[in-house]
Structure 1
Amino acid sequence: MGQKREYIPLGLDEVRQALLFIPADDREVWINIGNALKTEFDDAGWDLWDSWSQSSDKYKAGDAWKKWKSLKPGKVSIRYLDKLARNSGWRRERRELTPEEKQRLKAEAEERRRLVAEKVEADEAKLERMQLAVAEACQR
């Protein structure tokens, strides 16, 4: 049995190339790609998602922005996008990364995920406070 390869997270440039291999017409795929980008890159993923979305005849700028704002990070990982692109013929550039490059890419991905998790926690805390305020106002 072969040794399992270590997964190195995709960077923005790789994602941009991979998206060229994925049609943006299927709504479920469209939403899942948005979730994957928001999970991995938070709002830095918006431009990528919007540009890719425009490749569909169904694209409406206002709808795309509303949907982006409603997406919740953490539902879909970037590996979903990676797998779809590979299944459609995309191949990641094959070159051996130095241990330092691997560490840097992993650290960058971990930092992005940490920041997204902090934002999610802050949003959940804000929602909880708002729900409590509404509940208290309804009791008056």
Structure 2
Amino acid sequence: MKVSLIFTSIEVNPHNKAVAFRDERLGFVPPLSLLLVAAIMEKEGVEVDLIDMEAENLSYTETLERIKSFAPDLLGFTITTWSFHSVLSWINKFKADTAIPVLVGGEHVRLYPHETMSYDAIDYCIIGEAELPLPDFI
């Protein structure tokens, strides 16, 4: 199994690179939750490509090309409530252009699992900490 874990660019409008929530003085915070998920998946024998769109300064097109080149069986995203609409915009685009199943996790999913799963582009969710349910999911 191959999985692309994607830390999206957190923007007001994911299609406009001119408007972003980023403080250049602080640098980038690594996506720790996705790093943990990647470690769990790799321990289970999954081939993982972790894509940090913010740190790698990747456009949508560049990220899509990387996804298509890797040819994953699953796309994974982390969602916080404050980033939900931005991340959902990215998920909708990736899903429309790849038709690859989408797995989400994170605080928003823990707080609003039913609402999160009500979106057509989201296929699966992990509620709570990923350490226990993720190996069984894989």
- The structure with the largest strand share of the pair is 2
Higher helix share: 1
Task: Identify whether the pair has TM-score above 0.5, normalized to the shorter chain.
Answer: no
TM-score by length of 2: 0.27
TM-score using structure 1 length: 0.27
Q: Say which one has the larger Rg.
A: 1
With a CA cutoff of 8 Å and minimum separation of 6, indicate the structure with the bigger relative contact order. 1
